[in-house]
Amino acid sequence: MFYGVPLTSRLMLGTAQYPSPAVLAQAISASGTEVITVSLRREGVGGTAFRDLIRASGCRILPNTAGCHTVKEAVTTAHMAREVFGTKWIKLEVIGHADTLQPDPFALVEAARILCADGFEVFPYTTEDLIVGEKLLEAGCEVLMPWGAPIGSGQGLRNIEGLRTMRAHFDGVPLVVDAGIGAPSQAMQAMEMGFDAVLLNTAVAKAVDPVGMARAFGQAVQAGHLAMRAGLMPPRDMASASTPIFGMAELV
């Protein structure tokens, strides 16, 4: 549940870089997602036709401030997105490094504070830094979206211990792994660790078969969550036979 909105799917899907609008529509359907992210810049390029396509999907729209590098730019983009899409939800990105696209934590917290005070329901794209996470919650965010790896890199969960620590520290806070997921197995791993959802784009949009990959991610996220709920077997230092020796026949 995010900001009081219950969802059955734990996969959030981006809408950029698909080979055609038809493929995008099919991928959204195949994934089973209920939330799609849309950049205001992308929507501007697609115009009314693109807006009609994403609304026809029946999914909840999560606009984002992709490409923003300053507080002013991010806040202005968020206000424009609220007018265009009629939603208080906003995925807040304030990029601080041109090569890694790492969030600027100082600008991110400042922008989050401004937007939360203005009635937005903010989904901040952040790192796994606990202090930044605390500051974002203090600013009014009710969700945190730590990166798995740099955007579009496909490296998966690059700092597993950091993400585990974040999950344990923010018990009860919805956490979404956002960025860097390149394979369904990586999305499943995030869900097995107890994260509430994953958000991805490039791994589906740039696949040889985006529709098939979208379906694979949808199933992987579901499987990972079910496995976490069922209780994963802890790793052991030594072998432990699944078939006990007691009761076996003795050959003389």
Residue 246's pLDDT is 65
**Using 50, 70 and 90 to split pLDDT, how confident is the model at 42?**
low
Q: State mean pLDDT over 7-35.
A: 95
State the binding site.
152, 179-180, 201-202
The pLDDT > 90 percentage for the chain reads 81
In this model, does residue 251 exceed pLDDT 70?
no
**Using 50, 70 and 90 to split pLDDT, how confident is the model at 55?**
confident
Residue 97's pLDDT is 87
CA distances from 10 to 3, 51, 71, 168, 223 (A): 15, 23, 29, 19, 11
Q: State mean pLDDT over 80-103.
A: 92
What is the average pLDDT score of the chain? Answer: 92
Whole-angstrom distance, CA of residue 34 vs CA of residue 180: 20
Residue 40's pLDDT is 78
Whole-angstrom distance, CA of residue 28 vs CA of residue 249: 56
| pLDDT tens digits, 106-133 | 999 999 999 999 999 999 999 999 999 9
**Using 50, 70 and 90 to split pLDDT, how confident is the model at 134?**
very high
The position carrying tokens 């979206």 is 145
In this model, does residue 43 exceed pLDDT 60?
no
The position carrying tokens 């994403």 is 54
- Which of 3, 5, 33 is closest to 15 using CA atoms? 33
**206 catalytic per annotation:** no
Whole-angstrom distance, CA of residue 49 vs CA of residue 21: 9
Residue 98's pLDDT is 84
In this model, does residue 196 exceed pLDDT 90?
yes
* Candidates 72, 88, 91, 135; catalytic one: 91
State the binding site for 1-deoxy-D-xylulose 5-phosphate.
152, 179-180, 201-202
Residue 180's pLDDT is 93
**Using 50, 70 and 90 to split pLDDT, how confident is the model at 41?**
low
**Using 50, 70 and 90 to split pLDDT, how confident is the model at 252?**
low
Residue 53's pLDDT is 86
Structure token digits, residue 159 = 């700092």
Residue 146's pLDDT is 97
- Which of 222, 32, 14 is closest to 123 using CA atoms? 14
In this model, does residue 84 exceed pLDDT 70?
yes
Residue 48's pLDDT is 74
